[in-house]
Amino acid sequence: MKINASQLALLGLLALGSSLPGQTSESIPGGSGHKDPYIPVGAISVTPTVVQPGVRPRMVWNIDYPMAVVDLSDVDPNGTITATQEIDLKIRVMGVALQSGHTLLPAALWVRVGASAPWELAFYGRENDVNPDVVVYEKKNVQPGTQIDFSARGQSGSGSWFDTHSTAGSDLSVIGMIDGDSVPDYAPAYEQGRIESFMTQFLDEENHVVLGPHDIIHTFELGSSNPGDWWFDMQDIVCTTTLSQTRPDNGGGNLLSSSDLSTQTSSSSETVDDNGKIIRGRKER
């Protein structure tokens, strides 16, 4: 089949001029809808690059598609994450807001990677112990199909523990949300503006969650299992989980530091490169 360029261009424009069956918007309601990378990226290497006519060289290629949480995993309404690709994950605790009167109470967060795996303690501490700059839990090479659950509980002033709330269960005291999700309507604190400082950055004016494309936020209510309680604010402990596709460890590429600039050699005004190999202007034929 042979089509010349103008015919194909015309076909393309006609095709684009009409609505296409199956064309859908990928944007997430309330979210920015973009992914990481922003658009597909890829590379092809064909070797050898200098060959005799007729030779069939070897092609090696790789494509990275825009990815969001939904492309890397399934997140059920309770917040259980199930990997759909091989992924790495890291967890940060963003805030703890558990207190009795003026006494700050501690909370603990556990993570379980695998439905039958043991629970691992990721964090224990009070509001003042939180450091979002620190990744409290990290796991690489999580295989597709692996279920990742979160569990948390608070400790009373007397040292006894409150009930445990887990994504593996079905209670309303824990929820996992991604970019664009609405906050739970059964937690009136959000509607009433009783938002903890560390949560304000994650909410837009319409109480939709604002997150990066690979982030999931889990919020827990540790003092109650009853959404009717006035203190049921779903902000007692909040953590974010960042997923990424597992990549082979190839040592990464070169990085440029400001000190590298000191290696710059002076070029004459006729050249543009550091070694004087590229001559400015166009060469006459």
Partner 1 sequence: MGKSYGDGKSGSSRLGIILRILLKSVSIHFIMKKQLLLLAAAAPCVVSADPADYVNFVRQIQQDSGVEWDMSVAPNGMRISPTGVSVAGSFFELWAIHNRSVSEYRLDEQYVTAYTPNATITIVTGDPYLAIPRTRVDQPFQVQISVAGLLDENHPSYATAPDAAKWVDYTNYTFAYPDEAYSFEDVRNPVGTVVTEGYMEETANTSITFSATNLTGPDLTQVKGEEVFTITAQADFGVSATILDSEKVQIWPIATGTISGVDSSRYYEQVPPVSVSLVNLYPDSTTYMRIYPGPRKERPDGTKTINSSFVIMEDSIPQSRDLTVKSMDRYFTEEGIHTVELLHRTPFGTDLLDVVEINVDRTIEVNGGVIDQE
Give 111's strand partners: 120, 150
122-141 binders of partner 1 (CB under 8 A): 127-128, 130-133
23-42 binders of partner 1 (CB under 8 A): 23-27, 32-42
Four-residue CA torsion sign, 78, 80, 84, 87: positive
145 near partner 1 (CB under 8 A) = no
Residue 223: CB minimum distance to partner 1, A = 18
Please say which residue, 41 or 115, places its beta carbon nearer to partner 1: 41
Please say which residue, 117 or 272, places its beta carbon nearer to partner 1: 272
* Structure token digits, residue 168: 């593996």
- DSSP-assigned states of every residue in 149-165: EEEEEEB-TTS-B---E
* Structure token digits, residue 148: 């990742």
Binding partner 1 by CB under 8 A: which of 66, 114, 169, 188? Answer: 66
Binding partner 1 by CB under 8 A: which of 30, 169, 212, 227? Answer: 212
- Number of neighbouring beta carbons within 10 Å of residue 36: 14
74 near partner 1 (CB under 8 A) = no
50 near partner 1 (CB under 8 A) = yes
Report the residue count for the chain.
285
- What distance in Å separates the CA atoms of residue 8 and residue 3, rounded to the nearest whole number? 6
Please say which residue, 182 or 271, places its beta carbon nearer to partner 1: 271
- What distance in Å separates the CA atoms of residue 227 and residue 210, rounded to the nearest whole number? 23
Binding partner 1 by CB under 8 A: which of 30, 71, 139, 156? Answer: 71
Q: What is the DSSP-derived secondary structure letter of residue 75?
A: E
Binding partner 1 by CB under 8 A: which of 103, 143, 201, 226? Answer: 201
* Residue type (1 letter), 243: L
Residue 168: CB minimum distance to partner 1, A = 27
- Number of neighbouring beta carbons within 10 Å of residue 178: 21
257 near partner 1 (CB under 8 A) = yes
Binding partner 1 by CB under 8 A: which of 13, 141, 206, 228? Answer: 13
The stretch among 63-71, 109-117, 136-144, 165-173 that binds partner 1 (CB under 8 A) is 63-71
Binding partner 1 by CB under 8 A: which of 141, 170, 228, 282? Answer: 282
Task: Please answer whether residues 39 and 135 qualify as being in contact, where contact means their C-beta atoms are separated by less than 8 angstroms.
Answer: no
